[in-house]
Amino acid sequence: MRSQLTADSEPMVVPATVDNLSLEIIHDPSGRIVSIHWPQTIPGESDRYLHESITKLLGPVATVPYLQRVNQVLADGQPQQFQCVARCGPHPVGLDFSLSVAEDIDESGQQYLRGKGSVLSGAGSVMMPLHLHTMGVVADPAANAQAGLLANLSNYHGVLTSIASNIRKTLDLETIWQQTVDGLGSLLDLHRCLVCDYSVAMQTLDVVAEFYQPTLEPCLGQTFELSNKNDFRCTIHTLKPVLSDFDRKDTDAGPYTVLTVATCYRDEPNSVLLLQMPPDRPWHPLEIELVSELTDQVGTAIAHAKLFQASRTLADDLQKANEKLIDKNDELEEARRYAEEASRLKSEFLANTSHELRTPLNGMIGFLRLVLDGMADDPEEQEEFIEEAHKSALHLLNLINDVLDIAKIEAGKMEIDLSAISLQELFCDVENFTRPQAEQRGLYFDMKLPATLDEIKLYGNYQRILQVLLNLIGNAIKFTPEGGVTVSAEVKTQEVRFQGRKWPGHIKISVEDTGIGVSLEKQNRLFQTFSQVDGERTRQYGGTGLGLAISQRLIEAMGGKVQFISMGEGLGSTVTFTAILYQEPVIMAEAEGKQPAA
């Protein structure tokens, strides 16, 4: 059988001027050397290696898979090409191997395997043709056991290169961790392989990735205290591999050996690899060397990934901080616009209010001056002047009360005493105040009470609810040039909670007019303090613009809600508010024969 070998590292030191070396080794089925033929240019020490295992001189590190390929080639006669690791002394040599059947047969009829090829010397780039004779029979069990220590390293060159290449291609920390444990676990046929992330601040190691055989329990997510793990502490402080023997407590398989290796970057540890061999299988120095070689690259990859992760986190934090600053700037800009608008509205309010206050005050002074100067022609005219002065005084009082009320509300000092009040009595007083005003303007005025067998009682403050009704009806009359105003009440018997008590329901009172209405886009300004829907309209009709804002605050303080409804300009408007129902009334039957509600 013939094989072609090409190495990527120096197997032995040879003179650079030598360009054609030939070495022939013959060994028996157990791998014991029986004959060595050295080249003339290399001092021969044949006796030193006679009767020794071929692995002490030169040959595949993983003998078992090599001999399996030998047997397969002998059986079917087909050449095979594969990668393997050969060793010269303590040094591993990666080879591209081609194995074929040779024509050589010894006197006993035994078939040989012959490997011919070349090994590239890295030091002097010397081509050394090698002739390797290996017996084509099943290896000795003792040799198999010895070779089994390194059986999983047959693909060392390709697999190790692949692992290192993969972790260099990514900056994802979790991918680097997992590819490291999967690659080492498969390459060395480990029982378990862990990556433990090292926290310098906490002096802890967290298991962040693992490879383990199905018979074992997973360890992912566990945390180890550095003070409790001597092997971890030792490898972190010395940055050297540490071997530790442990007794198994869960099975009878015997002790096992664990290799712990610190990964580092610029002599600063950043994680620890834990590699657990199967029971009764020792670590070979070559295996430890291979793991150390890989961990150097893993430590660098982890450091780069953490730096990238930290920079990305910093970029995200900066982005979030920038977004917050933008939002804060928008809020400040909105607050500035709101403050400017509020200032403008207050200025407009003060201008309108001062005009509203001067008008009744001037009326009072004028009419009283006429009386004092004797300008009245008769007692009737004098009484008329005094009556007009009195009306102006009442109007002025209402304006001042509005200003004082909104000041109390804004300061949070509005106190309202609540008690049971009669809805019928309330409506009667409202009608006495407002019907003459409506009829004087040529408007109809209707008031509708629910049909009940007993008196309807509300829970609120009589004067404040009266104030709200007079304000709403006064606005309806003022802004209704033709048509009229309708005031109605409706009982809603749905249980409500207010001031920690349950009440039987509420009463909904509506003030509906056929007046000028309000456009949809301006309705949101109706209940704003110091805000008037239309300054020109306010000056035309009069008023301070505080009525609806005061009414809303008063009703809400008594557990109710205010709502304004208008379909647009010229379509009239309806203002409704609710008040707590003190007790549920007995509703009158709507149809004959129907029993009254309880």
Mean pLDDT (the chain) is: 76
d(CA 15, CA 42) in angstroms, rounded, equals 9
**Predicted model pTM:** 0.41
What pLDDT is stored for residue 513 in this prediction? 94
Q: Report the pLDDT value the prediction gives residue 147, as an integer from 0 to 100.
A: 47
pLDDT higher than threshold 50 for residue 20: no
The CA distances from residue 584 to 425, 470, 497, 596, in Å, are 17, 26, 14, 13
- Of 129, 113, 97, 109, nearest in space to 20 by CA: 129
pLDDT the model gives residue 296: 85
**Among 237, 280, 279, which residue's Cα sits nearest to residue 260?**
237
Alpha carbons within 13 angstroms on the beta-carbon side of residue 445 total 20
Closest CA to 195 of 283, 277, 299, 293: 299
For the beta carbon of residue 477, count every other beta carbon within 10 angstroms.
22
Cα 432 to chain centroid, rounded: 64
Closest to 261 (Cα-Cα) out of 253, 270, 248: 270
Quick count: other Cβ atoms within 10 Å of Cβ 285? Answer: 8
Q: For residues 462 and 417, give the distance between their C-alpha atoms in angstroms, rounded to a whole number.
A: 9
Segment 259-277, tens digit of pLDDT: 999 999 999 999 999 999 8
Residue 249 to residue 246: CA distance in whole angstroms: 9
Nearest by Cα to 64 from 11, 72, 8, 131? 72
Per-residue model confidence (pLDDT) at position 484 = 94
**What pLDDT score was predicted for residue 274?**
94
Instruction: Give the Cα separation of 559 and 562 in Å (integer).
Output: 10
**Beta bridge partner(s), residue 85:** 94
Phi-psi region of 110 (alpha: psi -120 to 50; beta: other; left: phi over 0): beta
Residues in the chain: 598
Query: Which residues have C-beta within 8 Å of that of residue 35, sequence separation ≥ 6?
Result: 24, 25, 26
pLDDT tens-place string over residues 99-115: 666 554 444 444 444 44
- Residue 488's closest CA among 589, 575, 584? 575
Judge whether 272 and 234 are in contact, CB under 8 Å.
Answer: no
Each residue of 284-326: pLDDT tens digit? 887 888 888 888 889 999 999 999 988 988 999 999 999 999 9
Give the SS3 label for residue 575.
strand
State the Cα–Cα distance between residues 511 and 299, nearest whole angstrom: 80
Q: Which two tokens stand for residue 57?
A: 């001189």
Alpha helices in 77-153 (DSSP H): 141-147
Mean pLDDT computed over 430-458: 91
pLDDT digits (tens, 9 = 90+) for 121-135: 222 222 223 333 333
Q: What sign does the dihedral 168-173-175-178 (CA atoms) show?
A: positive
The DSSP secondary structure of 193-216, one letter per residue, reads: EEEEEEETTTTEEEEEEEEE-TTS
Confidence of residue 2 (pLDDT cuts 50, 70, 90): very low
Residue with the two structure tokens 């692949």: 162
pLDDT above 90 covers a percentage of the chain that reads 30
Structure confidence at residue 81 as a pLDDT band (50, 70, 90) = confident
Check residue 302 and give its pLDDT: 92
Residue-wise DSSP of 449-489: ---BSS--EEEE-HHHHHHHHHHHHHHHHHT-SSSEEEEEE
Dihedral angle over CA of 313, 315, 319, 320, nearest 10: 20
* Whole-Å CA distances, 263 to 201, 297, 435, 506: 17, 8, 94, 74
- Determine the average pLDDT of the residues in 440-463: 91
N- to C-terminal Cα separation, the chain: 111
Instruction: Please tell me the distance from the alpha carbon of residue 288 to that of residue 185, in angstroms, as a whole number.
Output: 13
